[in-house]
A and B are shown apart, each in its own frame.
Chain A
Amino acid sequence: MEYLGQYKAVYKAKSGCEDILAKAQDGGIVTSMFAYALETGIIDGAIVAGPGSEPYKPEPMIATTVEELFASRGTKYSISPNISLIKEATRSYGLDKIGIVGTPCQIQAVRKGQLYPIGLRDVPDKIALALGIFCMENFPYQGLFQMVEDHCATKIDNVTKMDIGKGKFSVYTERGVNSQIPLKVTHKYEQPGCHVCLDYVANMADISTGSVGTPDGWSTVFVRSAAGEAAFNKAVEAGWIVAESMDGVKPGLELVEKLATEKITKNQKYLEHRAHKEHAALKPLRNPYI
């Protein structure tokens, strides 16, 4: 299996717009791509993880303006069921060209939905731009809350940013980095379904992006499909995105590949373990992959 998937090009990139960068998670690639695509009619709306009723609890929303996109900037390390709006987007919102951002599993769901639109009438040909974000794991909200409030001893209302990188979960407040805990502490709070996940860099997205591989403030960007390539190149041309070669960038693709390999081989082992071959007395657990 190719852990990084097929791609046409890979870049070190960031937004060309300071306003987007001010509150973006990394290089502001997701918000910039959608803003550019909205302005130029490549999409007529985007399904993003908007703010929810509790701090850092994401709520899927359909953004049809740049202002709404701005409200969705930044990573929320909890589950945002973005696909739940994919049919609604074509109905109440009347979108014909949908943008959607999602974790690798969500992009898999989009592609399955396009090829097997069992309950997704008229959705398949309305997906105009699917942006994937790298993802090692995700946390149910109650778990995230406990990580922040208990382990990091920080009130979640005061948090201005959360980040996972270099083996640590970091919580920022207005005063800067407030608390860091090693990921070995956070593992037990991960969503169980993440442990059977076989994709790290959203191999099925039009464009996928994440922080790993490039210096702080920049993003690593894989341009994968024809639609992704066309949109990305135009966004670069129009100045919405600044893209540079990955050659010589540290830690570079090597680290991305290392993490992808680690994640996928670990989860493949776990899937094998679930088959309970070593215990004749245990029935196997279900394996979704065929």
Chain B
Amino acid sequence: MGLLDKLKGLLFGNEAVSEGKQDAKPGAKPADAKVEQKPIITKPKEEKPVADKITVGHVHMSGCTGCLVSLADNYEGLLTILDKYADLVYCLTLADVRHIPKMDVALVEGSVCINDECSMEEILETRENAAIVVALGGCACYGNTTRFCRGGQQNQPQHEGYLPIGDLIKVDVYIPACAPTPQQIRNVCLMAYLLLKGNDEQKALATAYLTPLMNLAAAGTEACGCDLMTEVINQGLCCGCGSCAAACPVRAVTMQYGKPQIERDLCIKCGACYAQCPRSFFSFDVCGQYESITNLIAEVMKP
């Protein structure tokens, strides 16, 4: 069974899905069927309630805490996640645990100051203790604002070398942008839950969803608005949609004559524009099921 078929089975149930044709029986139409379909997460939850949560930690490297605030900006959604799907086992700001424990997923915020021994130890420990390392936010993925450091800041003026975590350890998943959005963090947490605790089909959905973010992690640790030129326009791929301009947190991208124009001095190297671009990566399997996946997320996020 192909991935697409698996997804269809997963999202629509196992009845044949008619595509491209009007179905004779209105009740059997795919969208009707999928609305009535039980959300795929409720099942494992009912069977094994709290015990089967995944463990998640927030590792704070050299970052501004904006990424963590973004996670918290899921508001009651964060409580739902912590209630049903994930235990927060490490988070200097929110949990009273001093040493990096074993965990399923580490959300690492910030880049690593290589002049600071403690940071170097902690990033290594994170890799050793976490099954999945997620670079949370532009600093962890690409250096972001810390790329511009020249040292001299209070109270450690000698600190000047900062590396995105992927330059020091293997990273599994990227969540670019500064700050990363609450909804993107939520989606990655839910998909990580499905990946680790779901059945085969749920794992297939989670894999399909996470693959592009894993590809970003594999692609490297440098990002810039220039990627829109080098990887999209120069490659003959730009469709002029404007997603890049919408995604940029510092308004460094404007659309001129249907193409992005990058104010390179404004760019903080967060990687949001390129990752948002439909021509950086696009999965028909995932995006084609936007309606069911959106409904699913809404359903499982109910308190």
Complex Cα gap A8–B288 (Å): 15
A118→B275 contact, CB < 8 A:
yes
**Is B218 interfacial (CB 8 A cutoff)?**
no
Residues of chain A within 8 A (CB-CB) of B279 are: 193, 196, 288
**Is B118 interfacial (CB 8 A cutoff)?**
no
Given A78-B258, A84-B255, A120-B246, are A108 and B282 neighbors across the interface (CB < 8 Å)? Answer: yes
Report the interface size for chain A: residues with CB under 8 A from the other chain: 66
Interface string of A221-233 (1 = CB under 8 A from B): 0000110010000
A-B contact count (CB 8 A): 200
**Is B240 interfacial (CB 8 A cutoff)?**
yes
CB < 8 Å: which of B181, B248, B280, B294 contacts A121? B181
Interface string of B41-61 (1 = CB under 8 A from A): 000000000000000000000
B175→A118 contact, CB < 8 A:
yes
**Is A290 interfacial (CB 8 A cutoff)?**
yes
Closest-CB distance, A259 to chain B (whole angstroms): 14
A118→B247 contact, CB < 8 A:
yes
B291→A225 contact, CB < 8 A:
yes
Q: In the complex, which residue of chain B has the Cβ closest to the Cβ of A138?
A: B240
Complex Cα gap A3–B19 (Å): 9
B235→A285 contact, CB < 8 A:
yes
B283→A81 contact, CB < 8 A:
no
Report the interface size for chain B: residues with CB under 8 A from the other chain: 62
Complex Cα gap A196–B280 (Å): 13
**Is A36 interfacial (CB 8 A cutoff)?**
no
Interface string of A111-144 (1 = CB under 8 A from B): 1111111111111110000000000001011100
Residues of chain B within 8 A (CB-CB) of A122 are: 181-183
Q: Mark out the residues of chain B between 182 and 238 whose CB falls within 8 Å of any chain A CB in the assembled complex.
A: 182-184, 187, 209, 211-213, 215, 231, 235-238
Residues of chain A within 8 A (CB-CB) of B70 are: 121
**Is B281 interfacial (CB 8 A cutoff)?**
yes
Given A112-B278, A116-B212, are A121 and B182 neighbors across the interface (CB < 8 Å)? Answer: yes
A116→B276 contact, CB < 8 A:
yes
Q: In the complex, which residue of chain B has the Cβ closest to the Cβ of A47?
A: B242
Q: In the complex, which residue of chain A has the Cβ closest to the Cβ of B211?
A: A290
Q: In the complex, which residue of chain B has the Cβ closest to the Cβ of A3?
A: B20
Given A2-B20, A5-B19, A81-B258, are A118 and B177 neighbors across the interface (CB < 8 Å)? Answer: yes
Complex Cα gap A88–B19 (Å): 35
Given A118-B272, A285-B236, are A105 and B241 neighbors across the interface (CB < 8 Å)? Answer: yes
Residues of chain A within 8 A (CB-CB) of B176 are: 118-119
Interface string of A180-218 (1 = CB under 8 A from B): 000000000001111111100001100000000000000
Q: Which 3 A-B pairs have the closest CB atoms?
A: A119-B247, A81-B242, A79-B258
A-B contact pairs, 28 of them (CB 8 A): A4-B20, A7-B20, A8-B31, A79-B258, A86-B242, A109-B242, A109-B243, A113-B243, A115-B187, A115-B209, A116-B184, A116-B213, A116-B276, A118-B176, A119-B246, A120-B246, A120-B247, A120-B276, A124-B183, A138-B239, A138-B240, A142-B257, A193-B236, A193-B279, A204-B287, A204-B288, A225-B291, A289-B281
